[in-house]
Amino acid sequence: MEPNLSAPRGDATALAVQAVRLSKRFGSFCAVDELDLSVSAGEVFGFLGSNGAGKSTAIRMLCGLLAPSSGEARVLGIDVARDPEAVKRRIGYMTQRFSLYEDLTVAQNLRFYGGVYGLEGAAYAERAAWALEMAGLTTKGTFLTGDLSGGWKQRLALACAVLHRPRVLFLDEPTGGVDPISRRRFWNLIDEMAGEGVTIIVTTHYMDEAEHCDRIAFMHAGRLVAMGSVSELKRVFAGRLLLEVRCARPLEGLDLLMKEPFVLEAAVFGTRLHLVVADEAARGRVVALLEHSGYGPASAEPVVPSLEDCFIHAIREAEEVTGSASVTSSVAAVGAIATAPGAGGSNPGGPTAPAAGDQP
């Protein structure tokens, strides 16, 4: 068993990562807009958002790979803008795009990254043996990396990222393009590391992956629009009723229902609609209106809010504040999360130092 690498999971008395009004602009485009967050030592913290929301740009700034335009951030007490190299030496970073050397074997890739991290002799042998066992790669040391499946490649990238025993691990959409079973196994490894006290910050657009996190930050259009645990985020629906509606021609039905004052929020979920209403009395009104207007047969059943419902709600509220069009862009944003598995996020520029998954 490896020694505890940092404070106990979720230790609020010790901050591993902190950002204050952290921003990144590319010309007139603001990729990350005044991000404020604090991540406790040993916490699993997730950024959830659609492609282009600013998740990857935020991660790259926190890793010291991308200079902020304004604001400040500290990782393990180190200012990422003033001393990015010191940050890089102390963290693990796994990019969303697998790019280890495919013409090297598993063992050779580990050896290379061991050299990058200054591990030699007995220290390297001990760490490499642990990393191979942790990732389930003990029998695959002689395999060419290019011959591995997507799931095994992700495990190798993780092994390289934690070879030097970092106290903070950044994972940028680590399971993009990986099959569901491999994704589950990968997250089992993450949970084990979190149990050992490693602080983990992960970006994803998979709702089920976000459920693994102690806390989640919803990002949309470069801004953090909500943050909390899953249970905390779902409290936005307290005192109201969420209905799942089935009817003929749901898109037309949505247009009809959105005109009614008793419908507080509405969005398309596949072939169904999700409506937020004030109380049970609205349920019968929804069915009656749809069937009377020619969209029957119709049904409206109460459902427990999902993380997807919370995400739509957070985007809607943020766009109401900024004056943006709400429903269409909210549905489009969720659609990008739900229907584009494996797509990369905002990722301008290239890394300035090797990290697991990035060739130097």
Q: In the predicted model, what is the mean pLDDT of residues 29-58?
A: 93
Buried-state track 149-161, b at ≥16 Cβ within 10 A, e below 16: ebbbbbbbbbbbb
- Check whether 8 has a pLDDT greater than 50: no
Which range, 8-22, 93-107, 295-309, is most confident? 295-309
Q: Which domains does the chain have, with CATH numbers?
A: 11-231 (3.40.50.300), 233-339 (3.30.70.100)
Q: Which two tokens stand for residue 122?
A: 């007995």
Can you give the chain as a three-state secondary structure string?
A: CCCCCCCCCCEEEEEEEEEEEEEEEECCEEEEEEEEEEEEECCEEEEECCCCCCHHHHHHHHCCCCCCCEEEEEECCEECCCCHHHHHHHEEEECCCCCCCCCCEHHHHHHHHHHHCCCCHHHHHHHHHHHHHHCCCHHHCCCEHHHCCHHHHHHHHHHHHCCCCCCEEEEECCCCCCCHHHHHHHHHHHHHHHHCCCEEEEEECCHHHHCCCCEEEEEECCEEEEEECHHHHHHHHCCCEEEEEECCCHHHHHHHHHCCCCEEEEEEECCEEEEEECCCHHHHHHHHHHHHCCCCCCEEEECCCCHHHHHHHHHHHHHHHHCCCCHHHHHHHHHHHHHCCCCCCCCCCCCCCCEECECC
Q: In the predicted model, what is the mean pLDDT of residues 42-52?
A: 91
- Check whether 37 has a pLDDT greater than 80: yes
- Check whether 330 has a pLDDT greater than 90: no
- Check whether 6 has a pLDDT greater than 90: no
- Per-residue pLDDT tens digits for 149-194: 888 998 899 899 999 999 999 998 888 777 788 788 888 888 888 8
Whole-angstrom Cα distance, residue 320 to residue 326? Answer: 7
Which of the two residues, 173 and 141, has the higher pLDDT score?
A: 141
Q: What is the pLDDT of residue 321?
A: 74
CA 168 to chain centre: 16
- Check whether 133 has a pLDDT greater than 80: yes
- Check whether 346 has a pLDDT greater than 80: no
Q: Percent of the chain having pLDDT more than 90?
A: 61
Q: In the predicted model, what is the mean pLDDT of residues 17-42?
A: 96
Q: In the predicted model, what is the mean pLDDT of residues 26-33?
A: 96
Q: What is the pLDDT of residue 127?
A: 92
Q: What is the pLDDT of residue 59?
A: 94
Q: What is the pLDDT of residue 132?
A: 92
- Per-residue pLDDT tens digits for 69-83: 999 999 999 999 999
Q: What is the pLDDT of residue 13?
A: 55
Q: Which of 15-29, 88-102, 218-232, 336-350 has the lowest mean pLDDT?
A: 336-350
pTM value? 0.79
Whole-angstrom Cα distance, residue 296 to residue 8? Answer: 55
- Check whether 243 has a pLDDT greater than 50: yes
Q: What is the pLDDT of residue 349?
A: 33
Q: In the predicted model, what is the mean pLDDT of residues 105-119?
A: 93
- Per-residue pLDDT tens digits for 253-294: 999 999 999 999 999 998 999 999 999 999 999 999 999 999
Residue 316: pLDDT band (50, 70, 90) is: confident
Q: What is the pLDDT of residue 319?
A: 82
